[in-house]
Structure 1
Amino acid sequence: MSQSSTPKIALVGNPNSGKSSLFNHLTGLNQKIGNFPGVTVDKKTGFCQLNKTTRAEIIDLPGTYSIYPNSTDEKIVFDILGNRSNPLHPDMVVVIVDASNFKRNLLLFTQIRDLNIPVVLALNMMDIVEKTGLSIDAKKLAERLQVPVVPTRARKGTGIDKLKEVLAQVKPNGQVKPIFDARNHCGDAIDEVKRNFNIEEDYVAYQMLQQYSINDSISDRDKLVLGEIAIKYDFKKDDIRRKETLERYAAINHVIDAAVKENFAYLPKEWTKKLDGLFTHKIWGYAIFLFILFLIFQSIFAWATVPMDIIDLTFSELSVALKNVLPAGALTNLLTEGIIPGIGGIVIFIPQIAILFAFISVLEETGYMSRVVFLMDKIMRKFGLNGKSVVPLISGVACAIPAIMATRTIENWKERLITIFVTPFMSCSARLPVYTILIALIIPDEPVLGILNLQGLALMGMYLLGFLAAILSAAAMKLILKTKERSFLVMELPTYKVPRWKNVGMTMFEKSKTFVLEAGKIILAISVVLWVLASYGPGDEMEMAEQRITAQYDVSQLSDVEFGNKVDAYKLEHSYAGIFGKAIEPAIEPLGYDWKIGIAIITSFAAREVFVGTMATIYSIGGVEDEGTIKGRMRNEINPKTGEPRYTFAAGFSLLVFYAFAMQCMSTLAIVYRETKGWKWPILQFTYMTAVAYLSALLVFQVFK
């Protein structure tokens, strides 16, 4: 460390590693936000009193997975750490590692360590590590890595005092043995860079050769010099970079073997080899994967039916009971016709969400999911996708937002862009409520071949349809963008192990809770707005509803219930929501939809799962005769033009296809905007997916009607 009276300490780590929490604990309120010089990227700095005599400046660098940048934010990391003349160049670095994703996070640490800046490793999220069955020996880890290691829990501030104590004692490095010795691959080129640019560290010189074309801190003249050196010594940056990745992971595995213990029951190595021969087989591997998908989707219908029916009936009866107990009025109607049916329309799907994530968790815990990634890599390449695209696409089955963020590990920008563009086609958990209720309406609950369920097959078909749309769209983009450069998938297949059922249970609970709470916020807001729009209208049409129905029908032939239902239906049709739905009906009628479905399509642009809550609210207000459940209301809805059920096979299948392809998630568009740094790609993505959804739904309805 320099003899500066106020040393600079940089915080570096993967996104979501707890870096910001650690920064806040170290600096408290003594921090400020500006921009890094020359770029509009937030720079957070603050001061921390390490001990009585040492006050340090803390710099929170942007989150990155590697020292090789994929964005403007990530370029800043090497621009600062690799350039000693940069005014923000630190005297030491704290690398924050998410200990629960230990291996992936250590890659960045090994790169920072080879820059020969004093480093402290902060093992964050140690509480999660204990729950996952891992045991990390910090002392052995420090010995192997030759750096101080401090366990922390940044959210709660645990370990912060120890970290301050260690930082106050850190001294400048001598020449430490690098984890990756670049001299073994391009020693002559490194020596010439060091001579020309007065650089001491081999790895810094090597990174200048790797990144000179994108390094903003290097002048155009210096870039020409570095380019000439690269040509002179035939510096093949991609080949050497692949070798670097392999060498670093080999070193990381060596560290893990000594310092990390997993309290799992493993299968013997000979069994691992036999199972890999089966699970990664070019024919049987795909057959087994399809069988597992069959099992998952069969279970979603077979096991969830009873609890779903109980939840559905409970909310229906709760709504009726409250309506009978509470005084008549707008607030009671809002509660019983808007809020309760809306929330009930999302809570009903907890059993299916829990079952889906239970299976996903078991596949991940056993090590099988890594085999799926390896297996699917061969297919992905034929469609212009990177091997690493498999992870975001599979993650997209849960949610497109973290899946799109996971594309940051793809180095090639065009391949990353294609992956971002097509990932929303993968059927996420938000589509599951729409799929299951529509499939239950149009597909009979019948066995196939004695063991399979027709509804389960239909659900699996929807997921495969989304995957097919994703890879075909990727192939089209490959032709348009003309991608030539390819990246490589480097991964180690973990050993098979028995899943920890406690972890599976926690995953089911956490994912279900997140689904309900996150969706619930949107559902509640939209249910309230929708109830208002559906309960009020312009002029005096709402007040004149009974007179209008009396004039249209022979009231003596109608029971009180039938008369009330017709009045409610008239009010809904002439409300603000009804008027808006009628306005867009001409555009959606060729797809087999009416104005009520149109309202649900519009409201579900906030989030796909809102569709079910909207239908529950619409039919609660519309007075459809049935046994009171959401499914019953939709089943008993009649098309007034044909006298047939509204949800025929053609209309229901059309709606399924529309939701399989449509980009109906504002949050996903927002994350695409953030990842692509502009509105161009989100707008193109939204336009393309909406067009595909509309035309496909139109074709399906016209063929099957």
Structure 2
Amino acid sequence: MDASLTIALIGNPNAGKSSLFNQLTGLRQKTGNFPGVTVDKKSGTWPIDTQTTATVVDLPGVYSIYPKSLDEQLVTDILANPAHPDYPDVAVVVVDASNLHRNLLLFTQVADLGVPTVLALNMLDVAKSQGKEVNSVRLAMRLGVPVVRINARTGEGVDQIKKAVLGQLENPTLPGKLFFDPADEAADLIADTRTQYALQNNYLALQYIIQHDGFSFLNRVQQLALDAIIDRYEFNETAFQANETITRYKRIATVVAESVTDHRPIGEPTWSQKLDRVLLHPVWGYAIFAFILLLIFQAIFAWAQPFMDAIDSGVAWLNGQLKEGLPAGPLTDLLTDGILAGIGGILVFIPQIAFLFLLVALLEESGYMSRVMVIMDRIMRKFGLNGRSVVPLISGVACAVPAIMATRSIGTRRDRLITILVTPLMSCSARLPIYTILIALVVPNQRVLGVFNLQGLALMFLYLMGLVSALLAAYVLKLVLRTKERGFFIMELPTFKLPRWNHVGLSVWESVRAFVWEAGRVILAISIVLWVLASYGPGNAMQEAETRVKQELANAPADELQNKLASERLEASYAGHFGHLIEPAIRPLGYDWKIGIALLSSFAAREVFVGTMATIYSIGDGGDEAGVTVRERLRQERNPLTGGPMYTPALAWSLLVFYVFAMMCMSTLAATQRETKSWTWPAVQLAYMMILAYVAAFVTYQCMA
């Protein structure tokens, strides 16, 4: 067994490379970073046979080895450096059989670098539906490497890939000659470079000439020496690359003509192209997208509500049972009022989060999400963003951290920086618990026109508010961060296909598990700390408060006395002191000291807000209403100044608007620092978002109060 073997999966975006990776590695996957860089690395073990186990590395999707972004640069950095720990013993190049003419460009470049290669023909079913028939035997003869027919979605052809890879490991075969030999055009330049750097491959020597400034394995002295060679031979990189591309496509066109039979009438559009005429239409495309968004937010409220009610009631029932069955004391209070109340405040939102990820996964699996990126590109450019910014912004609906990491695909530094700074304004799944519980308090559960739910419309309004604010912030930053760099957006539209339900299910499970695990750990820790802070106070403050209440309400009913005691003890606790400390700053927004405690604790993560409120009101209700749910506790809370409900529409909308804009996530700030390699930009991000949140919440409350 040789685990030191490395198999690299290489291919264009949407060619099926990641699906093949899942088929080969199964559950033996792990994620991390490539050595020396922050670009995500997806790898896994692949037992090729009983004696051979290899590490499979899923490299970022690229159209050619000439990079235009950080993640694309990584591919060339690996393939041009045999000493790299991820340099492949065999490269499996996955291509879309329905578009061989374009996909083979990358294959010819990889093969010309001298890497033993296997060509995996994927999406043959799509090619067949378009009337194309690929002769894989003839293609293998023309290319000079093993060619395997596969279906990455179903796993068909995996055994043939094993045989082909083993064959390349035992007896590597390469094409008889380079698909493009740079020595034909610049023999002296290539010879000089090969001699000076002890290279065995003409095309690798060309990459040293063209891409040496981006190669991490070359030191500054070596890079300057290559600059000198360029000057000596007056080498024109742009013209040479253009000639290379033209030459390659001419050779590829001949290979495709001999290997592919096209039975489709010339000019007849495919069914995907017919759909795209509507979905990408400058009017209907946006209308359809808006309608789909509306359906998603309606579904989040309508479909998830029965499950939420069941979880909410179940947690309240369990809390009551524990209080009745366990002996009274600090440990029972910690378990029920601290840990269970906090965690229950998050568990109740699992159904909504699951439905959100389910519907987004269906859009991605079907191929529609790529169309969304294309139509949104038209809007993004008006605000100064690169079209590639659409991907991180849409990803931000799930979580801002991976969305910020996705900006590595943006080529220009300014566009990447702007996208990083505005992405947290997109409402992520951590905000969903806050949105839904506050909307449920103040927005009636009524239908409009017999179809649309008012609560769903309110939720969609908050998400659109985040999108609009991100675009406006990007426009302002574009005016501040001026540059002459131009960004380009290139995306191949995948064909429409039926979702793979196992992939959809796995995506939903992983997303919900990650949310619960990440949020749960933070909430568990904060719930324990918060319970301690809310149960104990400085000096004799809590005992004095208790004595004062007993004297004032000596003849009051037991329930009234108990509730007043709990409230006064909470206010005299450490948590109460913290809340009162910041209350003057947040009072103009309509918030009291209890909400202030939740605001402070939610700086760790936004979703902690709901768990904190559940813990605070569990401790402050006197303990006689153990079966009351989180939403009922908030609905019953009274404003001590007015005697009316605490959570009025003005207060609730002020909080909603605050959390639309507020930077309440330490993980996002850490991700921004890691991607920008500076604490300046996280500080800018924190400052402008918190100022925006405060001002917007202030205006909202003052106008509605």
Same-fold call, TM cutoff 0.5: yes
* Aligned partners of 1:431 and 1:608 also within 8 Å: yes
- Larger mean CA deviation between 62-71 and 658-667 belongs to 62-71
C-alpha distance in structure 1 between counterparts of 2:177 and 2:291, whole Å: 52
Q: What's the counterpart of residue 554 of structure 2?
A: 555
The 5 Å alignment of 1:478-489 reads 478-489=478-489
AA matched with 2:573: S
Shift in Å, 1:191: 4.5
Name the aligned partner's letter for residue 598 of structure 2. Answer: A
Partner of 2:230: 226
Moved more, 577-586 or 454-463: 577-586
**Within 5 A, what are the aligned runs for 1:55-70?**
64-66=60-62, 67-68=65-66
CA distance in 2, matches of 1:582, 1:302: 38
Deviation at 1:337, TM superposition (A): 0.5
The equivalent of 2:685 in structure 1 is 685
Contact 1:384/1:483, CA 8 A, preserved across alignment: no
CA contact (8 A) 2:90 2:117 kept: yes
Distance 1:429 1:351 in 2: 12
Matching of residues 61-140 of structure 1 within 5 Å: 64-66=60-62, 67-68=65-66, 78=76, 81-82=79-80, 93-95=89-91, 110=107, 113-120=110-117
Shift of residue 468, structure 1, vs aligned partner:
0.8
Partners of 1:476 and 1:255 lie apart in 2 by: 54
1:376 and 2:372 are equivalent in the alignment: no
Aligned residue pairs: how many? 655
Q: In percent, how many aligned pairs have the same letter? A: 48
Cα deviation for residue 514 of structure 1 reads 2.9
Q: Could you tell me how far 1:305 is from its partner in structure 2?
A: 2.1
CA contact (8 A) 1:443 1:455 kept: yes
Partners of 2:477 and 2:256 in 1: CA distance = 37
Indicate the larger mover: 91-100 or 611-620: 91-100
Match for residue 586 of structure 1 among 584, 587, 605: 584
Q: Which amino acid aligns with 1:533?
A: L
**What does residue 397 of structure 1 align with?**
397
Q: What TM-score does the superposition give when structure 1 sets the normalisation length?
A: 0.78
CA contact (8 A) 1:607 1:664 kept: yes
Q: Distance in 2 between matches of 1:505 and 1:89?
A: 34
CA RMSD of aligned residues (A): 5.1
Query: What's the counterpart of residue 193 of structure 1?
Result: 189
Aligned-partner residue type, residue 222 of structure 1:
L
- Alpha-carbon separation, structure 2, partners of 1:701 and 1:465: 17
Q: How does 1:177-576 map to 2 (within 5 A)?
A: 177-178=178-179, 181=180, 188=185, 190-191=186-187, 193-198=189-194, 201=201, 203-215=203-215, 217=218, 218-226=222-230, 232=236, 235=239, 271-501=271-501, 503-551=503-551, 553-557=552-556, 559-576=557-574
1:328 Cα offset (Å):
0.8
Cα displacement string for residues 141-195 of structure 1 (whole angstroms, at most 9, x for unaligned residues): 987875568999xxxxx999989955652437454453xx486xx974x556314
Call closer, same or farther: CA 1:491–1:527 in 2, change over 3 Å: same
Contact map agreement 1:68 1:75 (CA 8 A) in 2: yes
Are 1:618 and 2:608 matched, yes or no?
A: no
- Looking at structure 1, the residues matched to 516 and 251 of structure 2 have their Cα atoms a distance apart, in angstroms, of 41
Contact 1:94 1:122 in 2 (8 A): no
Contact 1:118–1:171, Cα closer than 8 Å, also in 2: no
Change (3 A) 1:473 1:528: same
Q: Is the alpha carbon distance of 1:169 and 1:354 closer, same or farther for their aligned partners in structure 2, counting shifts above 3 Å?
A: same
1-side partners of 2:516 and 2:259: how far apart?
37
Residues in 2 aligned to 1:479 and 1:301: alpha-carbon distance in whole angstroms = 39
**Distance (whole Å) between structure 2 residues aligned to residue 64 and residue 507 of structure 1:** 19
Deviations 1:269-327 (A, max 9, x none): 66534422221111111111111111111221122222212211111121011101101
2: CA distance, partners of 1:252 / 1:660: 54
> Cα deviation per residue 1:220-279 (whole Å; 9 max; x = unaligned)?
243254267677576386x78998999999999999999xxxxxxxxx966534422221
Tell me, yes or no, if the aligned pair for 2:105 and 2:249 is still in contact at 8 Å: no
Q: 1:171 to 1:410 in 2, by over 3 A?
A: same
Q: Give the alignment's TM-score, normalised by structure 2.
A: 0.78
Q: Distance in 2 between matches of 1:452 and 1:479?
A: 39
Unaligned runs of 5+ in 1: 1-5, 27-32, 44-49, 124-136, 153-157, 259-267
Structure 1 residues 532 and 247 mapped into 2: Cα distance closer, same or farther (>3 Å)?
farther
Question: For structure 2, which runs of at least 5 residues remain unmatched after alignment?
Answer: 12-16, 42-47, 121-133, 153-157, 262-267
1:169 maps to 2:170: yes
Corresponding residue of 2:606: 608
Change (3 A) 1:41 1:341: closer
Q: Summarize the Cα distance change of 1:119–1:305 in structure 2 as closer, same or farther, 3 Å threshold.
A: same
Superposition deviation, residue 540 in structure 1: 2.1
Distance in 2 of aligned mates of 1:586 and 1:174: 75
Distance change >3 Å, CA 400–CA 148, structure 1 → 2: farther
